Amino acid sequence: MAEPINVVVTGAAGQIAYSLLYQLAAGSVFGPEQPINLRLLDIPPMMEVLQGVVMELDDLALNLLREVTPTADPAVAFKDAAAAFLVGAMPRKQGMERKDLLSANVKIFKVQGEALDKFARKDVKVLVVGNPANTNALICSHYAPSIPKENFTAMTRLDQNRAQAALAARLSVQVDRVQNVIIWGNHSSTQYPDAHHALVHLPTGAKPVPEAVNDDAWLNGEFVEKIQKRGAAVIAARKMSSAMSAAKAAGDHMRDWWIGTRPGKWVSMGVVSDGSYGIPKDIVFSFPVTIKDHQFKIVQGLPINEFARAKLNATAKELEEERAEANSVLEQ
Ligand code: NAI
């Protein structure tokens, strides 16, 4: 069996981590042959809660799980890390402006970027889940200059999974029959869930989703809005944000990054823009990617119609605004 790898989960006493940790310990992300050491980072007031999580991890009695280290010290958490799930973030409190939230979180991701730079492996794979995820990933990468930019990603996989499930329901097929739906842009309500390049596998063969749905008004209207607002709908019903589905999506994202995508299939990830599709460079933008040997490649050459262009521009503009706000906080 392979040597254990160090896997960091921040926000480890929180609700997403609670669903994520079992997947990691059970081998459903890094594979059944890969033992792991878990480094659990949270803030000092959460250390007692974290002890309870550690007890439960012990009680899972799983072979793949070797050391478990709860800590409030980023230097301890990120030491020799091979993979990091940056879930911990300041939640939005009542009366808090978006800017206040951004300001609190940007500072957290600066500290964690610096710690990754100093202590983690140079090939560490970093997945940012904590919101605003795209801009947090950008800041984190900026403060970890010794680690390649390609090693920092933001999670839009939950949006992709939501979109895939919504299309499968609309077409009355199982969810794995739908592939290659894309999430473009920010993990926010400006994201563009795009089904125009997706395929559905029907008993009669593969068909483009727009042809199978045969209702462009729905695909460009109700479908897009449903995915953009799904997170808010879960909060309204549950009085808490999506946790089980967010944890599953984080596992999906990291597993594909670690193990690779299957031929002909692509997945969406927030990655540092290289200018593909005319998107400004130096923002973390969600693109369709394929992955091989731990490296992703942005899928090139998809036709972008006028409707899509406007959506891509709007979400890119929001990300540029977030970057400017983040920079102004960091300059203070
Ligand atoms: P939660 O509030 O249950 O847990 C967050 C944890 O982070 C808490 O234990 C808190 O103490 C910890 N934390 C705060 N500051 C920290 C720091 N500096 N270092 C380490 N830990 C720290 O929140 P939940 O539900 O687990 O969500 C976590 C984040 O994920 C939120 O920002 C949420 O908005 C985001 N999210 C992102 C999604 C996505 O699709 N990208 C989907 C759902 C949630």
Domains and CATH numbers, the chain: 5-154 (3.40.50.720), 157-320 (3.90.110.10)
Q: What tens digit of pLDDT does each residue of 39-85 get?
A: 999 999 999 999 999 999 999 999 999 999 999 999 999 999 999 99
pLDDT score of 332: 73
Determine the distance separating the centroid of ligand 1 and the alpha carbon of 172, expressed in angstroms: 34
Residue 268: strand pairing partners = 288
Tell whether the model's pLDDT for residue 95 goes beyond 70: no
The closest-lying atom of ligand 1 relative to the alpha carbon of residue 13 is: 9
Per-residue confidence band for 179, with pLDDT thresholds at 50, 70 and 90: very high
pLDDT score of 174: 98
* Burial status of residue 21 (CB atoms within 10 A of its CB: 0-12, 13-18, 19 or more): buried
**What does each C-alpha distance from 152 to 46, 76, 133, 254, 328 come to in angstroms?**
26, 20, 11, 11, 22
Q: What percent of the chain has pLDDT over 90?
A: 91
Whether 327 has a binding-site annotation, put simply, is no
Taking each helix axis as running N to C, give the angle between helix 244-259 and helix 15-26, from 0 to 180 degrees, rounded to the nearest 10.
40
Tell whether the model's pLDDT for residue 94 goes beyond 70: no
Q: What tens digit of pLDDT does each residue of 296-330 get?
A: 999 999 999 999 999 999 999 999 999 999 998 88
CA distance 213 to 227: 17
Does ipTM come in above 0.95? yes
Determine the distance separating the centroid of ligand 1 and the alpha carbon of 101, expressed in angstroms: 12
Q: Parallel, antiparallel, or unpaired for β 182-184 and 178-179?
A: unpaired
